[in-house]
Chain A
């Protein structure tokens, strides 16, 4: 019988289990993400997506974010009755249990459930009670950041060496940050901080305000009090926010949004990522302050943190990663689906408890930062490196960034593309360069630079002068450049890992243990050490191929 991992979240919940040695979230009602919403209707209890869809129609019967009330004595009022938070959570767990049983055909009984690291004893007992009410047996109540760190470990993002990890979890409605000390099988939460009322929903509402203002400024139309227009703006805001994670600007179009003086009013303008970032920057800055608070509470300094693992859908916003990079000189990891990381980690823990073999999660990622040479804003720094695709970004990917011209009427820019993990170009390797001619424009004119990196190691660099038709695309093959460095054909890290995993299946005893050590060294190494670790693995392949 399978064991399952459950992320019982404030906004959404997920259930996962191991399939073929790797964790996988199960689709319930067509999606792995189940809204943590319960509607006590006249005809019965409705949970998840359907409850969320009817929440506005029956607000007095709908309960959301019940996790915030767990472990408190107060009951929640409904028309004609009261319910305890544990009972509401039990309904969510039942929905996950029933959905998983339908999806797998197996009985769901033994589970690992996650809870925030800051949950006190009463809140933990309440979570256990909810599970019991749902007919589940909780084998372990696992801290959410620990679960996330466990699944990142399986993706090779966390090495076996003792080290300090910051788990930054920015979801739809809550923010949690935790500092973990990891050593072998020990994962200790050293400190936590957070805000239970901060998340992506706040960013959506800020953006709705921005769109509303734009409509007022351009068309003189005020949509406040027009619920349909407000609903359309909210969806537009959500979609624009998601699109701005990859693009630096998105068209915002809403035809027949409202009417003014008997005439239809349309919204049509371009929203720039920079504007969105200005709106949310104070919130993201506050999360950085809380992250630093957690680090201080753990008796550490920012420089002590070696890795940052991203959890929660809102961490896909580029500003989050940028500010984390500025606050911590650590490797930022995003290999795991941020919405599912906690549940997948819980499934991994369940498998470990059952003695199942947990396979390494193979993800194709960018091994190095990839960016361009820029002039810095401050004192002249000839070697400034501006990353566009960060290392550990899952491939294939497309990322855009905006840069600005230095001089009035600047005739061209030299696009020098560098690859590496150093903060300056001098420490990185140039992988290509070309000239991009500009139309005459004042200094500070925007130039868009987009990198598209595919699984074949091909990078398409597209440069466009905003507001003109000037654009140019150049394809660079990074594998060729890597060849020069290691004096041998470049082998993707994923291929080496896959080979090792395949060989591992055929080995046992000390030979297998030795391979595990070499593989761990390879996964954890960087730069020259990575090359050496790869050579050691290749030697091992040669010796054990016969």
Chain B
């Protein structure tokens, strides 16, 4: 009975698996794998190019911004005045020496040159501040030496080593000064 039924029905057909995949399937699988890899590479390349475009765009923006700054009248901000300002400090020294050594005409000539350079600086918004004979303004200048003497009140600037430079309220360069002390105190040096 049971054997009879078994000939009528079968729960699941018996499957005979081949020893390996047919050659056409292997070939297609390889092709799919290769194409997937190619597609993946293309997508990565596309992502890289997109990133590069972003990067170039941001640099372009930055470059244009720089260009605008250069073209604007405020381009003076980027000028390095260091050497000119240092030279003016030394010119002041020479003018003072010339006057002290009796070469007044020579000193006056140099003073006129210095005045012309100062005028140029002022035109560009810079102001040299050399407060000789006054109390040092610590926001602007640093005391780098003291000078023991009784001919001027203690605590006044007797020599400007380096003038302070401001642009409006901003200190562009801190100055350096020598300040007098009472002779009994003695000079402390730098």
Give me the interface of A with B, judged by CB distance under 8 Å. Answer: 29-30, 46, 49-57, 59, 225, 227-228, 230-232, 234-235, 255-256, 264, 455-456, 488-489, 491-492, 494-496, 498-499, 535, 538-539, 541-542, 545
Contact = CB atoms under 8 A, between A and B. Distances in A.
Interface in B148-190: 155, 159, 161-162, 170-171, 174, 176, 178-179, 181, 187-190
27 contacts: A30-B171, A50-B138, A53-B136, A53-B142, A53-B143, A56-B143, A56-B188, A57-B136, A57-B143, A225-B189, A227-B188, A228-B145, A231-B161, A232-B161, A234-B190, A235-B162, A255-B90, A256-B93, A455-B59, A488-B48, A489-B52, A491-B48, A491-B55, A495-B52, A495-B55, A538-B48, A539-B43
Interface of B: 40, 43-49, 51-52, 54-55, 59, 90, 93-94, 97, 136, 138-139, 141-147, 155, 159, 161-162, 170-171, 174, 176, 178-179, 181, 187-190
Main secondary structure of the interface of B (DSSP, over half): mixed
Contacts, number: 107
A539 B44 CA distance: 6
Contacts of A255: 90
Nearest to B42: A542
A492 B143 contact: no
A56 B47 contact: no
Contact of A56 (B97, B146, B161): B146
Contacts of B141: 53
Contact of A231 (B54, B90, B144, B155): B144
A539 B40 contact: yes
A57 B144 CA distance: 9
Nearest to A537: B47
A268 to B, nearest CB: 12
Nearest to B187: A227
Contact of A488 (B44, B136, B142, B178): B44
A494 B179 CA distance: 52
A256 B179 CA distance: 20
B52 A30 contact: no
B44 A59 contact: no
A496 B55 CA distance: 9
A158 to B, nearest CB: 25
A57 B141 CA distance: 12
Contact of A46 (B138, B144, B181, B187): B138
B143 A488 contact: no
A541 B189 CA distance: 65
Query: A230, A495, A496 — which one has the most chain B CB atoms within 10 A of its CB?
Result: A495
A538 B159 CA distance: 65
A53 B138 contact: yes
A381 B121 CA distance: 56
A54 B146 contact: no
A53 B142 CA distance: 4
B181 A57 contact: yes
Contacts of A59: 188
A499 B46 CA distance: 14
A44 to B, nearest CB: 13
A509 B22 CA distance: 44
Contact of B54 (A56, A230, A489, A499): A499
B144 A56 contact: yes
List the 7 shortest-distance A-B pairs measured between CB atoms, nearest first.
Answer: A227-B145, A231-B144, A50-B138, A231-B190, A227-B189, A53-B142, A495-B55
Contact of B44 (A51, A264, A535): A535
Given A230-B189, A234-B190, A539-B44, 15 more contacts: A53-B141, A56-B143, A56-B144, A56-B188, A227-B145, A227-B188, A227-B190, A228-B190, A231-B144, A231-B145, A456-B59, A488-B48, A535-B44, A538-B44, A539-B47
A350 B93 CA distance: 51
A50 B97 CA distance: 31
A349 B47 CA distance: 35
